[in-house]
Amino acid sequence: MEKNQNLENQEIQRAAKIITIANQKGGVGKTTTTMNLGVALTRLNKRVLLIDGDPQANLTSYLGITPGEHPYESVHTLDEIYLSKRPLDAEGRLFFITKSASGVDLIAADKALSGVEYYLFTRADREVVLARFLEALKQDYDLILIDTPPSLNLLTLNALCASDYVLIPVQPEFFSLEGIVKIKESIEDVRLRWNPNLSIIGVLPTQLSSRRKLTHEVIRALQMELGEKLFETKIHDNAAVAESSGHAQSVIEYDRTSRGAQDYMAAAKELILRCSGKFVSQYSETTLSSQETPLCQNI
Ligand SMILES: Nc1ncnc2c1ncn2[C@@H]1O[C@H](COP(=O)(O)OP(=O)(O)OP(=O)(O)O)[C@@H](O)[C@H]1O
Ligand SMILES: [Mg+2]
């Protein structure tokens, strides 16, 4: 990555870039990536807002926040945004922002979010509620990352409609590409119907075990299929990453010398370059079009 220098000073743009972290497969590292990438970006002087878009509310608890309980009695949650009848002005929006000890701002979630889908079905603007809400907040941040549930439901759809980019974490295993095919179809649907600007910023391999032969085979297949969309940075399976969330800390705070912290700092640098269109991928030349190589071949 020597060709990709001066990361802290890279201008992304005045208004925040909004990135949905999505993969309908469970346990691939969506929430872990949202949290650690978010904190890593603050260490590179970016103003970061994280949104917990999953009723499991794991991101909120990874950040050590329990809405409604001391000292978080006054924390407002994402379900209230979906349920509000009127659009909120910029001041009203600030009401929903919780400052975390890790340095990122958060729009928190709790289990009440699971009831929101039912209500949304009755609304004509059901896909774009979040997009409208975020409009005024964009000026206050460089990056907004949205964590999503492991399904392509209305909450995920709202995140995609509000976003400039999708980042797809994948665990290198036999069926990794099948998950990517499904999310690509949803992205195409969102592009056609609501948000023509949406694109994939990259596919980030997570929980990589370098000693397994299968890992290398899958990564090679992902390279062939995805070309420059595959992140050069890989997130390794690392005990500090798993431990840190139990301590309500990012891995960068928990052990900044760990492999996990280094991986997420590198991923944050690569993300900034990708957002500014300045990333030069070593995989560009291996790209094959999907017409030439059917998805999932060789895996
Ligand atoms: N790089 C890593 N090294 C070790 N453990 C990891 C790593 N990344 C994630 N994990 C662990 O894997 C588990 C699943 O991660 P995470 O909750 O981020 O996945 P998810 O995709 O958000 O899951 P869900 O689909 O249920 O929302 C967690 O216990 C987490 O601590
Ligand atoms: Mg999650």
DSSP secondary structure, 237-298, as one string? P-HHHHHHHHTTS-HHHH-TTSHHHHHHHHHHHHHHHHHTT----TTGGG---TTTS-TTTT
Domain membership flag for residue 245? yes
Q: Which ligand is nearest to the CA of 59?
A: 2
- In ligand 1, the atom with minimum distance to the C-alpha of 260 is 1
How far, in Å, from the CA of 1 to the mean position of ligand 1? 26
- What is the pLDDT at residue 6? 54
- What's the CATH number where 144 sits? 3.40.50.300
Domain membership flag for residue 292? no
- What is the pLDDT at residue 8? 53
Residue nearest (by alpha carbon) to ligand 1 atom 9: 29
**CA angle in degrees (0–180, nearest 5) for 164-77-82:** 60
d(CA 238, CA 259) in angstroms, rounded, equals 7
pLDDT in tens, the chain (299 residues): 545 555 555 555 578 999 999 999 999 999 999 999 999 999 999 999 999 999 999 999 999 999 999 999 999 999 999 998 777 888 888 889 999 999 999 999 999 999 999 999 999 999 999 999 999 899 999 999 999 999 999 999 999 999 999 999 999 988 888 889 989 999 999 999 999 999 999 999 999 987 777 888 889 999 998 999 999 999 999 999 999 989 999 999 999 999 999 999 999 999 999 999 888 888 765 443 333 333 322 22
- What is the pLDDT at residue 280? 83
Domain membership flag for residue 291? no
Which protein residues are within 6 Å of ligand 1, measured from CB? 26-32, 54, 56, 58, 150, 206-207, 235, 237-238, 241-242, 245, 260
- What is the pLDDT at residue 295? 30
The pTM (predicted TM-score) of the whole model is 0.91
| Strand order across the 165-170 sheet | 98-99, 105-107, 48-52, 143-147, 17-21, 165-170, 199-205
Residue nearest (by alpha carbon) to ligand 1 atom 31: 242
- What is the pLDDT at residue 5? 52
* Cβ(298)–Cβ(221) below 8 Å: yes
Q: Which ligand is nearest to the CA of 235?
A: 1
Domain membership flag for residue 299? no
Residue nearest (by alpha carbon) to ligand 1 atom 25: 26
Q: How many domains would you assign to the chain? A: 1
- What is the pLDDT at residue 285? 53
How far, in Å, from the CA of 276 to the mean position of ligand 2? 27
The domain in which residue 73 lies consists of 17-286
Q: Which residue has the tokens 């997420």?
A: 264
- What is the pLDDT at residue 251? 98
- In ligand 1, the atom with minimum distance to the C-alpha of 238 is 3
Domain membership flag for residue 1? no
